[in-house]
Amino acid sequence: MTFLDSNVLVYAVDARDAGKQKIAKSIVMSARDSADYVISAQVLNEFSNVAMRKLGKTRAEVMGFAELFNAIRSVPVKSEWTMRALEMMGLYDLQFYDALLLVAAKELGCDRFLTEDLSDGQTYSGVLAVNPFRQ
């Protein structure tokens, strides 16, 4: 199973980089049609924040995108993941929210984490980081 980072969703709606947008849209469409992909509520929250703050999308636009992304299987963030994320931060020198996403991926049984924010090809507690945008 594959966990999607928020940057995949962001690039799917960001026309400033046509190459990344094409890749991200393809991933999102695959994720919508397959039970092999998952996101967490944190991913949707991060997407919403970035889309409004950095991309200048309106609240209504973000609501429309979120509706589209809701077709991807999503899970809530569990409070017990916080301690595991803090531990993972120390193991891999990660930012807290990146560690929390990795914990979510691990807890959901994902073996891949699509992101450009982590070291491509590195395994974090059994979850392989894959940068789908690497050239």
Nearest residue to 117 (alpha-carbon basis) of 46, 32, 58: 46
Domains of the chain, start order: 2-130 (3.40.50.1010)
Closest CA relative to residue 9, chosen from 59, 64, 60 = 64
Exposure string over 45-58, b if 16+ CB within 10 A, otherwise e? ebbbebbeeeeebe
Q: What is the pLDDT of residues 7-28, one digit of tens each?
A: 999 999 999 999 999 999 999 9
For residues 21 and 27, give the distance between their C-alpha atoms in angstroms, rounded to a whole number.
10
pTM: 0.94
Q: In this structure, what DSSP letter does residue 94 have? A: -
Q: Which of 78, 77, 101 has the alpha carbon at shortest distance from 5?
A: 101
- What pLDDT score was predicted for residue 125? 95
Q: For residue range 66-115, list pLDDT tens digits in order.
A: 888 988 998 999 999 999 999 999 999 999 999 999 999 999 999 999 99
12-26 b/e (C-beta count within 10 Å ≥ 16 → b):
bbbeeeeebbebbee
